[in-house]
Amino acid sequence: MTRRTALALLGTTLARAATRLPANKNVRWALGANLWNSFPRVPFTDILDVMKDTGFTGIRMTQFPQILKTYNITVPELQKELSRRGCHIITISYNGPAHDPARRAEVINGARTAMTFLKEFGASHLVVFSPNRSNASEAGFKSMCECYNQLGEVAGEMGFRAGLHNHMGQIVQTAEEVDRCMAMTDPKLFSFSPDTAHLYLADCDVVKTIEKHKSRLMLLDYKDARKISDKLLDNIFDLGDGDVDFPGCHRVLKSIGYKGWLCVDLDTARKGPRVSYQRCAEYVVNKLESIYV
C-alpha cells in the first residue's frame, strides 16, 4: 500500500467517524421539543427529521396537551410519522401545584392524563418538575413530597416510573433540596430524573449528585452549561462547550449498567436546532461512547 493510498483510507475513515450517529444501545439519546418554541414555527415533521438525521431518536414533549394543537397534529398522525423515522416519544415535562394539598387531586389526575397519552406511544416514564420557587415553604415541601409518593403509586399502577426533575427557579433547585426530596419520597415509588445543567448552575457537584442517587436514576437530561451571565439561556451550551463533566457522569452510568434515555434538552441553539444537535452528536460519538455506549 502506498503512502497516498494509506492517507486516502485514513481520510475516509475519519470522515465516516465524523458523521457517525450516536449508537443508541444501552444509552439511548433524545431531545426536547421545547427548543423549537424559540424559532419560527415549522411542521412537527421537521423536528422529527432533525431527530432522525442526528441520531437523537427520542423526544420529550412539552406544553402537553397544547402541543398537539400548536403543531396541528393528531395522535394517529404523530404515531405514523414517528414510526416512519424510527423515532419515539419518551416522556412529557409534567408540572403541577404539588405543594398545595387542596389541589392534589388535580395534580394526580393531570399526571394520569399525561401517562395515558404516553402509553399510546409505548413510553413508560413521567418526568416531574417541582412547583415554582415562589411557592417554597416547609409545609409546601412536605406536601409536595407526599404528593409525589401518591403520584408514583399511580404511575406504578399504570406501568410507569415517575421521577423528580431539578430546575433553577423551582422548589427543588439546590443539592440540599434534591437530597431532601429524595429522602422524603419512597424510592420504590418515586425516582430521580436530573438535569445536569441546572445542577451545575445551582452550584451542585453534578457527578457526586448523580452518584449519590444513582440507584434512583430514571432518565437524565445531559445539558451543558457555563456561568457567563445572569440570564439562564446565555449559560446553556451544546455538549462539550460548557463545564459539565459528562465523562464523569457517564462513568456513573457505566457503574450501574444504565439502560435508558438521556435527553439533550437544549434551551437554546445559537445556530439553529439542526447544527446544535449535529455538534452534540459528534460529542457523544467522540467523547462518551468510548466510556459507555
pLDDT digits (tens, 9 = 90+) for 196-238: 999 999 999 999 999 999 999 999 999 999 999 999 999 999 9
122, burial (CB in 10 Å: exposed 0-12, middle 13-18, buried 19+): exposed
pLDDT over 60 at 18, yes or no? no
Q: 59, 131, 129: which is closest to 94 by C-alpha? A: 129
Q: What pLDDT is stored for residue 12 in this prediction? A: 36
Q: What pLDDT is stored for residue 199 in this prediction? A: 98
pLDDT over 60 at 11, yes or no? no
pLDDT over 90 at 9, yes or no? no
pLDDT over 50 at 14, yes or no? no
Q: CA 143 to CA 138: how far, in whole Å?
A: 9
pLDDT digits (tens, 9 = 90+) for 234-277: 999 999 999 999 999 999 999 999 999 999 999 999 999 999 99
Q: CA 123 to CA 82: how far, in whole Å?
A: 13
CATH superfamily of 23-288: Divalent-metal-dependent TIM barrel enzymes (3.20.20.150)
Q: What pLDDT is stored for residue 53 in this prediction? A: 98
Mean pLDDT, the chain, whole residue set: 94
Q: Cβ contacts of residue 200 below 8 Å, gap of 6+? A: 206, 225, 242, 243, 244
Give me the residue spans of the domains in the chain. 23-288
pLDDT over 80 at 81, yes or no? yes
180, burial (CB in 10 Å: exposed 0-12, middle 13-18, buried 19+): middle
Q: 169, 164, 213: which is closest to 193 by C-alpha? A: 164
